[in-house]
Amino acid sequence: MAGIYIHIPFCKQACHYCDFHFSTSLAYRDDLLSALNKEISLQKNYLGGDTIETIYFGGGTPSLLNSGEINAIIDAIARLHSISSAAEITLEANPDDLDKKKVEAIKGTAVNRFSIGIQSFFNEDLKWMNRAHQPGDADSSVKRAQDAGFENITVDLIYGYPLLTDAKWKSNLNRVFELDVPHVSAYSMTVEPRTALAAFIKKKTEQALNDEQSASQFIHLMDAMNRKGFEHYEISNFCKPGSYSRHNTNYWKGVNYLGIGPSAHSYNGDSRQWNISNNAKYIKSILELKVPAETEILTEKNKLNEYIMTSLRTQWGLDLQKLNTISAGASTQVIRSAEEFFAKEWLRRENEIIYLSQSGKLYGDHIASELFF
């Protein structure tokens, strides 16, 4: 099995915290969509004939596409790949895009899952982030999707930023629970270089982020999700039993995937490649029948470290036996490096699997880096 990611690099406006590749100009829209379909053909052999189990439209803002454009991309994939009849096909969407007409149109495509970028239900927070939607759009977009028959819905939330008091964070979570969605992705705000937020903080026109606030709100998040019966199956992801994001879960489990579009990444177990993050240069290269990608051949050390990083983030944990299939005896070094974290009760071991404890999830990236080869 394998997955395909489609990067749609357009947004109505730039969120202050976002460092993904996108453009607020639609000047290259038609040419870009044509190039996406051409790249699907150019990359037809990358996945070696694997059945496509998941397709994910990310961005950017894929909900800017109309149903015909979505269908054209899925049809281009179907002409060259075998798509599972039970494939998960996700469309990321901004709440303000999902009016009744748009939801009904998307219902007529093969898309069967929405990822809705709510982030917050408070207007002042959305303005601070420079989001395009209003608080009322969040509720109505989810309800419209549900009314149209979409049961597989995930929403995004952000915590750990100066405007978000603990009371507001609890309110955001309660609103999500009231909406009865089966999946929630919640991310701690980070300050990425070359973003507006980074510039504001550097100029001291905005407050710096507070690690203690982020940690406290993450703990409340975990406890609240647990009380509501959600599985904490990956550091930033929670779901009702069985409602995992199959596409993203496959990333964490090392399943092969192909990325289409500017800045999109691909992985086939032995190498990783990533397309150029420039719309005009991407289009020009594709028109010349060349995929504008850089490739990294993964060494044994790369594979070990990648497995440690991705597996430790999940509820399925780090399998010491699988580690040894990558490099004989690798588990011995990992167990030795993990001793201090077992002592702090940040890690626990059950037979041949190592897991992060709840307290350990606060330090997941640090712990993984200390286990690297």
Domains and CATH numbers, the chain: 2-252 (3.20.20.70), 300-371 (1.10.10)
Alpha-carbon torsion, ordered 199, 200, 203, 206, to 10 deg: -150
**What would the mean pLDDT of 312-333 be, rounded to a whole number?**
97
pLDDT at res. 57:
98
pLDDT at res. 295:
98
Q: Which amino acid is at 196?
A: A
Spatial separation of the C-alpha atoms in residues 26 and 55, rounded to whole Å: 24
pLDDT at res. 343:
98
pLDDT at res. 27:
87
Spatial separation of the C-alpha atoms in residues 277 and 295, rounded to whole Å: 14
In the predicted structure, residue 33 carries a pLDDT above the cut 90: yes
pLDDT at res. 230:
98
Q: What is the pTM of this model?
A: 0.97
**What would the mean pLDDT of 78-86 be, rounded to a whole number?**
98
**Helix (H), strand (E) at residue 157:** strand 153-159
pLDDT at res. 5:
98
pLDDT at res. 55:
98
Spatial separation of the C-alpha atoms in residues 304 and 319, rounded to whole Å: 12
Per residue in 216-243, pLDDT tens? 999 999 999 999 999 999 999 999 999 9
Spatial separation of the C-alpha atoms in residues 10 and 29, rounded to whole Å: 8
Angle of CA points 163, 165, 166, to nearest 5°: 155
In the predicted structure, residue 10 carries a pLDDT above the cut 90: yes
Q: Please state the φ and ψ torsions of residue 97, each to the nearest 5 degrees.
A: -80, -20
pLDDT at res. 138:
95
- Per-residue confidence at 200, pLDDT binned at 50, 70, 90? very high
DSSP 29-76: HHHHHHHHHHHHHHTTTTTTT--EEEEEEEES-GGGS-HHHHHHHHHH
**What would the mean pLDDT of 155-175 be, rounded to a whole number?**
98
- Residue of 67, 177, 196 lying closest to 118 (CA atoms): 177
Per residue in 136-150, pLDDT tens? 999 999 999 999 999
